[in-house]
Structure 1
Amino acid sequence: MGRPPIDRRPNTFLAYWLTRTGMSNVELARAITDRATETGERGVATDESRVRRWLKGEMPRPPVPQLIADVISMRAGTPMTCADLGLPGPQGPANAGHPDLPWEASSTIGALTHIIRSEFMLPTTRISAEASTVHQGNNLLSPLQQWASAPSTTEASEALQARSGRIGMAQVEGIRAVTATFRDLDNRHGGALSRKAVIGQLDDAVDMLNTCSYTAATGRELFSAVGDLGSVAGWMTFDAGRHTSAQRLFITALHAASVGGDKGLGAHILQCMARQMSHLDHYEDALDLVALAQYGARRRLSPATTSMLASLEARFHAILGHLPDSERAAGHAEEAFTRVVPGDEPPHMAFFDAAELSATLGVAHQIAAKKSSGPDRLRRAEQSVLLLNRAMESRPDHRVRSKAFDHVGLARTHLAAGELDGARQETEHALALFGDIGSKRVADRLVELHDETEPFQRGQAGRKMRELISAALS
């Protein structure tokens, strides 16, 4: 009783939950038949061979998918949807991972739970498929506009009702300590290696939101801490090339920050999203996300956050060819950074130091150099080299991925100035660091560098660069 899909593949989702719940094929078949009887569904008789066919990819017809979801939900002790089990039917919490998610606590918890569960089951998809399904344009920006005015809703949250224990600030500080640890791992090794581990920690943290009681004040801090941990999970997922999953994590992390009333963290998450959209060549969206962060957190922006957003604005304006706007934003970024007092900045802003500012503005000048000509091109290229060298000289040792980006940036700047030997040397430095990290973003930048060397491939230096990059990426 079923139909094979056009491209039948083993149902790894269903297999995962059978293993997790400890159910055999025979037990599942018997439980489905019993559940059908309970719900008044006639003519449903399932046996072990049918379950085996489902696991191989055959799709059961309604009402069987919902019966399977009911049975496994009861056995697992957590609500399951047909989509969670790789079956046709209801797709889970409304708008989970979509920008148009209600700005309140219970929806945020439900969406986080759904996304985390999906992360543990989904096989890795190709980057191109992931990138093609991210939300963009008005589909992304319009729902997020509400972030600027959405109030904290912990006072009205059902999560405040006592269920299985009470938590306080000690548990919140524990989440923050774990978040700091994963940030450090991401900086040292890239996002691919620890991505699933941080999502596992996020799962535990969301469980606290969903099952424990806490005061309104603790609830706000807890949602903020979960939002920050979610932003790290989103960043690692983005770095691993899982773009749709990363965007879902960013959006729900933004909702958690909003429920917690943490506008500064919300601005940080929006700049993460802006970087992702820029990486995917959606530059107007990237600029709009920066503007939304600046507006929504305008009364809560620390000097470092103000400087960071302005430096990104300078980069995105340069990409779009708005060179006067880029220079103006760069000046704003430098001015704001003079007011930074490191001890007064929130933990999520620790990454934005003098090196990061120099690197971001250095790339902005590099991009502007490519869009300029004559003396202006040379001036911008020289400024880019100065800033990127300054960034590398002051980078902490553990910021390995950032150093790799710096070397790639310098190589691209040398190319823009026609300095092939310098470009080749910086490429070699970047590739040496690339071998120590797992980062799809660095790989993507290396591909861009490879493409930019095409006009120089007849010369020895240009040909050598292309060979080195090809060998490293293959």
Structure 2
Amino acid sequence: MAGRPRTVKHPNELLHYWLGRAGVSNAELAREVTRRARALGERGINPSEGRVRAWRGGETPRHPVPQIIADFLADRTGLPLNCADIGLPDRTTPVTAGPDLSWKPAAAIAAIAHLTRSEIMVSHSRDSVDARSVHTGHDLLDPLQHWTTASPSALTARGGGRLGASDINGIRAVTDMFRDADNRHGGALSRKAVIAQMSDANALLSTASYDEATGRALFAAVADLGSVAGWMTFDVGLHKQAQHIFFAALHAASEAGDKVLGAHILQCMARQMSHLKHYDEALDLVNLAQYGARRHATPATRSMLAALEARFHAILGQVTESERAAGTAEELFAAVDQDNEPAHMAFFDEAELCATIGVAHQIAAKHDAGPGRAVRAENSVRLLGRALELRPEHRVRSAAFDHVGLARTHLAVGEVDGALTEARRALHIFRSLGSPRVGDRLIELQQEAAPFEASRAGGELRDVLSEALG
């Protein structure tokens, strides 16, 4: 008879980190757990050094040992650690940043504190298991429906130093700096730095003293900083962590009473879902953002969401709906006044509008087997070319995407030489970026070039991509 399948354990990196930071040996932890367990009346808990090694290796100690360890490490480090922070379960409700997070200030603050602590301290690897573990379908969308009706909670006065406008402006300036670094270099370079900054800003929510208006502004500043942190994390391929950060940032935006910022965070989540090929969820998130921000959205926000709607409809083969949404996006953009747009919408300029709709035409051309393919490809080349002409110098990663989009458009109509030229331009930029997301798009280009491999240009295209991507 076959035995029970063996449970695969993974080292508890969080526990390992916090024990190292606290300077606690296996023997000392074993002694301390025994002492504290006896104080609680738990006489049967008497771990050895070997048992502690097993906990480090991924074994889960029985209740109430996880809470005992968390309390001990909190005392040693002076930080408010809980069981989740040290990678162990508890019988109490854990602090998470999933879609079921309570729409209250304390929940948002606690979730951000937990996420930023664990993100700063633990290195991650990029693998497909992470991408498969993101929330999708009803697990993602049902809880987020509450965002549309959630109202800011009453903020109560707290102790600590008095917070003012200059503090908020400082956080906003740092956010702008990190956003610029992400555009220029990709998310890999500054991701942990922005998460550390998010942790510091979030700490003010629970320690500083502020009035109602300043508290709302602080929540908004933390939410916007979180949108940058989540975007960088998505850009480097850490999809589950990115989604958790987006969730927490969305809750912070809700406490700020800022539906426009919330819609921006939802469109970031929609782009992530599209990247992971969850296209229905991507479109649903855009629709949710449109509905939730319907009374507050600026022209740029409405235009951006309509442009994304056009892209996702095209991916789903809904060409008529895609063309309608693209027309709406262009009409709405005519009313945009960048001086009256929030800082987080500065990225959505004419270049971004052209690029988003240009990709929608490229996707439609790829799936159009009839005479309309050439017209769609021409529109895509025109719009993506216009995007490249208008791109500001600092939007380096966006320019790489534009060149990839042009290469894929050329392939859609069999213009392999044009695809090779644009691929070389994209690769030149890619080599200076820390953006695995651009690499993912290049991999897709490489796959689409396979039918042309027998030709000179097609073989060369595959070769240069293979060499660059390893």
The reply on whether 1:348 has 2:344 as its aligned counterpart is yes
Equivalent position to 1:167, from 159, 163, 168? 163
Question: Displacement, 1:73?
Answer: 1.9
Question: Displacement, 1:139?
Answer: 1.3
Structure-2 change in CA distance of 1:9 and 1:338 (3 Å): closer
Partner SS, residue 79 of structure 1:
coil
Structure-2 change in CA distance of 1:279 and 1:56 (3 Å): closer
What is the one-letter code of the residue matched to 2:417?
D
Task: State the alpha-carbon separation in 2 of the partners of residues 343 and 63 from structure 1.
Answer: 56
Are the equivalent residues in 1 in contact too, given 2:152–2:255 (CA < 8 A)? yes
Which residue matches 2:30? 29
Structure-2 change in CA distance of 1:49 and 1:130 (3 Å): closer
Deviates more, 1:160-169 or 1:412-421: 160-169
**Residues 382-439 of structure 1, C-alpha deviations (whole Å, 9 max, x = no match):** 0100000000011111111001000000000000111010000000000110000011
Question: Displacement, 1:22?
Answer: 3.0
Which residue matches 2:233? 237
What is the one-letter code of the residue matched to 2:351?
A
What is the one-letter code of the residue matched to 1:106?
A
Structure-2 change in CA distance of 1:9 and 1:331 (3 Å): closer
Which residue matches 1:141? 141
Which residue matches 2:72? 71
Are the equivalent residues in 1 in contact too, given 2:157–2:211 (CA < 8 A)? no
Equivalent position to 1:221, from 217, 222, 225? 217
**Residues 440-474 of structure 1, C-alpha deviations (whole Å, 9 max, x = no match):** 21111011101101110111111111111111111
Question: Displacement, 1:213?
Answer: 1.8
Identity of aligned residues (%): 60
Are the equivalent residues in 1 in contact too, given 2:158–2:206 (CA < 8 A)? no
Question: Displacement, 1:375?
Answer: 2.8
Which residue matches 2:3? none
Task: State the alpha-carbon separation in 2 of the partners of residues 163 and 41 from structure 1.
Answer: 37
Are the equivalent residues in 2 in contact too, given 1:82–1:92 (CA < 8 A)? no
What is the one-letter code of the residue matched to 2:445?
L
Structure-2 change in CA distance of 1:58 and 1:285 (3 Å): closer
Which residue matches 2:130? 130
Question: Displacement, 1:184?
Answer: 0.4
Equivalent position to 2:264, from 264, 268, 274? 268
Are the equivalent residues in 2 in contact too, given 1:381–1:417 (CA < 8 A)? yes
The reply on whether 1:178 has 2:174 as its aligned counterpart is yes
Are the equivalent residues in 2 in contact too, given 1:365–1:381 (CA < 8 A)? yes
What is the one-letter code of the residue matched to 1:76?
T
The reply on whether 1:103 has 2:115 as its aligned counterpart is no
Task: State the alpha-carbon separation in 2 of the partners of residues 142 and 49 from structure 1.
Answer: 44
Are the equivalent residues in 2 in contact too, given 1:83–1:91 (CA < 8 A)? no
Alignment map for 1:174-213 (pairs within 5 Å)? 174-213=170-209
Structure-2 change in CA distance of 1:28 and 1:164 (3 Å): farther
Partner SS, residue 166 of structure 1:
coil
**Residues 304-362 of structure 1, C-alpha deviations (whole Å, 9 max, x = no match):** 11110110011011111111111111111111111111111100000011111110010
The reply on whether 1:116 has 2:112 as its aligned counterpart is no
Which residue matches 2:46? 45
Task: State the alpha-carbon separation in 1 of the partners of residues 324 and 44 from structure 2.
Answer: 71
**Residues 58-90 of structure 1, C-alpha deviations (whole Å, 9 max, x = no match):** 544443333212211222233333332233444
The reply on whether 1:397 has 2:398 as its aligned counterpart is no
**Residues 1-46 of structure 1, C-alpha deviations (whole Å, 9 max, x = no match):** xxxx944554322221122223344443332232122212113334
Are the equivalent residues in 1 in contact too, given 2:355–2:383 (CA < 8 A)? yes
What is the one-letter code of the residue matched to 1:71?
F
Question: Displacement, 1:203?
Answer: 0.6
Partner SS, residue 187 of structure 2:
coil
Equivalent position to 1:431, from 422, 427, 438? 427
Partner SS, residue 374 of structure 1:
coil
Question: Displacement, 1:52?
Answer: 4.5
Which residue matches 1:295? 291
What is the one-letter code of the residue matched to 1:144?
L
Structure-2 change in CA distance of 1:50 and 1:140 (3 Å): closer
Alignment map for 1:299-318 (pairs within 5 Å)? 299-318=295-314
Task: State the alpha-carbon separation in 2 of the partners of residues 127 and 52 from structure 1.
Answer: 26
The reply on whether 1:259 has 2:259 as its aligned counterpart is no
What is the one-letter code of the residue matched to 1:231?
S
Task: State the alpha-carbon separation in 2 of the partners of residues 24 and 138 from structure 1.
Answer: 44
What is the one-letter code of the residue matched to 1:408?
V
Task: State the alpha-carbon separation in 1 of the partners of residues 7 and 18 from structure 2.
Answer: 24
Are the equivalent residues in 2 in contact too, given 1:147–1:296 (CA < 8 A)? yes
Structure-2 change in CA distance of 1:298 and 1:53 (3 Å): closer
What 5-or-longer segments of structure 1 have no aligned partner? Answer: none
Are the equivalent residues in 1 in contact too, given 2:263–2:293 (CA < 8 A)? yes
Partner SS, residue 206 of structure 1:
helix
Partner SS, residue 33 of structure 2:
helix
Equivalent position to 1:417, from 399, 413, 418? 413
Deviates more, 1:105-114 or 1:42-51: 42-51
What is the one-letter code of the residue matched to 1:132?
R
Equivalent position to 1:366, from 362, 365, 370? 362
Are the equivalent residues in 2 in contact too, given 1:93–1:114 (CA < 8 A)? no
Which TM-score applies when normalising by structure 1?
0.94
Structure-2 change in CA distance of 1:91 and 1:416 (3 Å): farther
